[in-house]
Structure 1
Amino acid sequence: QKLSECEFVCDVDGIYDSENKRFDHHQLEYDGVLSSAGMIWQYLLDEKIIDASLYDYVNRAVIIGIDAHDNGRVLQQEGVCTLSHVIAGFVPIEYDAKEEERTAAFFVALDFAFEFFQRLLNRYAYIEACGDKVAAAMVPNEKVLIFDEALPWQEKFFDLGGEKHPALFLIMPTGVHWKLRGIPPNRENKMGVRIPLPKEWAGLRGAELQKVTGIPGAIFCHKGRFISIWETKEDAQKALDIILKRRGESS
């Protein structure tokens, strides 16, 4: 049997035995939440091939979803396309496709998956490299995080105890402009904010937003009231001051 010649056996053979590098989840004896993807990712952690920080990042980003999809623990939601769906899209369309066609499609999918995970690892490395800058912005322990360059901040912010940090807003460059963004309450609710932008700003652009705020550099406020765009850093700071003044606070 060819499987006996393999160092790693994944998603087939009905055995989960990480010591012998067998990673299947289809057998009746296994009732855990991992698919073969999660089993292998756990193995890499246990063998210290990856560290806990990288494990958590990739696990949250994609592995948990793959496991849930593969084990049937999530319902198919109309209009939602996951990584699992994308990979499945490489399967030949015709059900009676020849073995050579299936093999060729597998390697195309493999190349795509490799590139995807390589970019994910590169993104993780970039986030980690920016960690000291995020930590420094948190030190003043104030109601706003201010960055003079665009960088990934959310992951490290919450890694460093951001859920208990008093910051309500963030000011950061975005292209040639600046953004004033509400900070999420926690890692799990990334689209939420601790304090929304003023209701009367919602959805306004240009002259309309300039009129209601009194700030000539006002450009746009999202109707969801979680982010706004301003011409300069000073404009974003003025907008923040308006919000905090209404709350009887200062930055």
Structure 2
Amino acid sequence: MAETTAKTGYDIKIGTHNGTFHCDEALAVWLLKRTGAYKDAKVIRTRDESVLATCDIVVDVGAKYEPENHRYDHHQRGFTEIFGHGFSTKLSSAGLVYKHFGREIISNLLQWQVQDSRTEILWLKMYKEFIEAIDAIDNGISAYPSDIKPSYRMRTDVSARVGFLNPRWNVHATPDEVDSLFVKASNLVGGEFHERLDYYGTAWLPAREIVMSALQKGSGIDERVLVFEDFAPWKEHLFDLEKELGIEGRSIYVLYPDESGKWRIQAVPVSSESFESRKALPDEWRGLRDDALSQATGVPGCVFVHASGFIGGAQTREGVEALARLALK
């Protein structure tokens, strides 16, 4: 983590450029104000080098990336910094600030210890799901190869929404008015960052922990079958955790209760986005319901098996466990 200043209170200054603002520095400033060192800092928007020299930290201006001197620009020739950890997108000021201060910011916002393993998980998750696209857009990096023409134009992303907050070209705005709009933009993108982080911390991560527990505990049926005592979104986590644990492709069926109290058996797809199953439920069960399905399987209390064989159900946990044992054969 970058060295922090000894100053306290409103004497601390964050410097960034004036004029037209972009999503990256709007977020970078918001993030810095969620750190212990810069939470009360005054934001100075200028390109005057003599004024920037008086700032305690400078982002997105100044042509220097020097963490030891609290300078975080990415526009200079030869800048190639990336986030690492498998990510190769060149960083903007948002990514630079997040790389150096992100763990502390997550810790402060969620009231976790920086050393908590969950902090590291969400630090990487938030870069993948939120920050990286902002870095790429600001640096002019397309999401697709240049020879592929998108089917439609996307201008509803957060970078575009921040851009639209700038004064219109044919409206004269004073510097103070532009600074006020910058604050609005910073709060917009920062608010979305916070909401996304809260979701990952309070919903996404608990689901991940449920899947990890199921993988480690085992079902008592077969190592290829997972049982969740309560339903949780599991697909994304299962593929990530299988890879992390070195058991890729092992899980075949997932058993869990539905909202009505009945139980489901679901075939694991070949990938999180695929409609193809690793091992679909048997063809002779597909499309059958209730007594007809119970007669075909020999399992009482069956409810249905989907025509594609990716999911089925029974009245009880014992019922879907029996279906899993039969389907594995």
Q: What TM-score, normalized by structure 2, do the two folds share?
A: 0.55
- Which residue does the alignment assign to 1:144? 225
2 CA distance for matches of 1:81 and 1:35?
Answer: 21
Q: Is the 8 A contact 2:255 2:320 kept in 1?
A: yes
Q: What is the correspondence of 1:85-164 to structure 2 with a 5 Å cutoff?
A: 85-90=157-162, 91-92=164-165, 94-99=168-173, 102-126=178-202, 127-129=204-206, 133-138=210-215, 139-140=217-218, 142-153=223-234, 154-155=236-237, 158-159=240-241, 161-164=244-247
Change (3 A) 1:73 1:34: same
Residues of 2 paired with 1:241 and 1:99: CA distance? Answer: 70
Other-structure match for 1:218: 304
Q: Deviations over 1:41-81 (max 9, x none)?
A: 21125879755333222122222333233223324644475
Bigger mean CA deviation after superposition, 32-41 or 74-83: 74-83
Aligned partner of 1:148: which letter? E
> Aligned pair in 2 of structure 1 residues 54, 210: CA closer, same or farther (>3 Å)?
same
SS in 2 for 1:65: helix
SS of residue matched to 1:136: helix
Q: Which runs of 5+ in 1 are unaligned?
A: none
Distance 2:315 2:129 in 1: 33
Does 1:175 pair with 2:175?
Answer: no
* Greater alpha carbon shift after TM alignment, 159-168 vs 116-125: 159-168
Cα distance in structure 2, aligned partners of 1:162 and 1:97 = 57
Could you tell me how far apart the structure 1 residues matched to 2:288 and 2:172 are?
Answer: 61
Residue in structure 1 matched with residue 97 of structure 2 by the alignment: 40
Question: Can you list the C-alpha shifts for 1:205-225, whole angstroms capped at 9, x where unaligned?
Answer: xxx4528x825522756x6x7
Higher relative contact order by CA 8 Å / sep ≥ 6: 1 or 2? 2
Percent sequence identity is: 21
Tell me the CA shift for residue 147 of structure 1.
0.8
The higher radius of gyration belongs to 2
Contact 1:183–1:194 (CA<8 Å) still a contact in 2? yes
SS of 1:171's partner is: strand
Runs of 4+ with deviation above 6 angstroms: 46-49
Q: Which residue of 2 aligns with 1:71?
A: 139
1:6–1:136 distance in 2 versus 1, CA, 3 Å = same
Give the letter for the 1:228 counterpart: I
Give the corresponding residue for 2:31.
none
Residue among 191, 195, 207 paired with 2:273: 191
**TM-aligned CA deviation for residue 164 of structure 1:** 0.9
Q: What SS is found at the alignment partner of 2:185?
A: helix
Aligned 8 A contact 2:266 2:311 in 1: yes
The question of whether the paired residues in 1 share the 8 Å contact of 2:59 and 2:72 is answered with: yes
Judged with a 3 Å threshold, the aligned counterparts in structure 2 of structure 1 residues 106 and 190 are, in CA distance, closer, same or farther, namely farther
Q: Does structure 2 retain, via aligned residues, the 8 Å contact 1:171–1:233?
A: no
Aligned-pair Cα RMSD in Å: 4.0
Query: Which residue identity lines up with residue 228 of structure 2 in the other structure?
Result: F
Shift of 1:40: 1.2
CA distance in 2, matches of 1:82, 1:210: 46
Secondary structure in structure 1 of the residue aligned to 2:62: coil
After superposition, give the CA deviation of every residue in 1:194-214 in whole Å (9 maximum; x if it has no partner).
60535969xx8xxx4528x82
| C-alpha separation in 2, matches of 1:79 and 1:199 | 40
